[in-house]
Amino acid sequence: MANKTCRNLLSQLSDYIDGELEEMLCAEIEQHMAGCPDCQAVVNTLEKTVRLYRTVGRAEVPQDVQRRLYKVLRLDQIGRHT
């Protein structure tokens, strides 16, 4: 399900959600998401999770939570760049 564009995009997702990504890359991600429901789903889920963690006073989503999300969405091969 995840093609190469999706993988590139999702490997930068935490930076994107943290707002640490360059404006150009953000635009690229948003453009891709507009036509890719898979990535939309991942970003929505991840964003919700990140917000939840911030609400309880933790700045970062633990790696295992991210991995679980990827796995649920069958994108678990993406998170291995660390």
Contact range with Zn ion by CB under 5 A, out of 1-9, 21-29, 60-68, 74-82:
1-9
| Dihedral of the alpha carbons of 36, 39, 41, 44, in degrees to the nearest 10 | -120
Distance in angstroms (rounded) separating the CA atoms of residues 16 and 26: 7
**Which CB atom, from 45 or from 53, has the smaller least distance to Zn ion?**
45
10 interacts with Zn ion by CB under 5 A: no
| Residues of span 39-58 touching Zn ion by CB under 5 A | 39
Distance in angstroms (rounded) separating the CA atoms of residues 52 and 34: 24
36 interacts with Zn ion by CB under 5 A: yes
Among the listed residues 6, 43, 50, 78, the single contact to Zn ion using CB under 5 A: 6
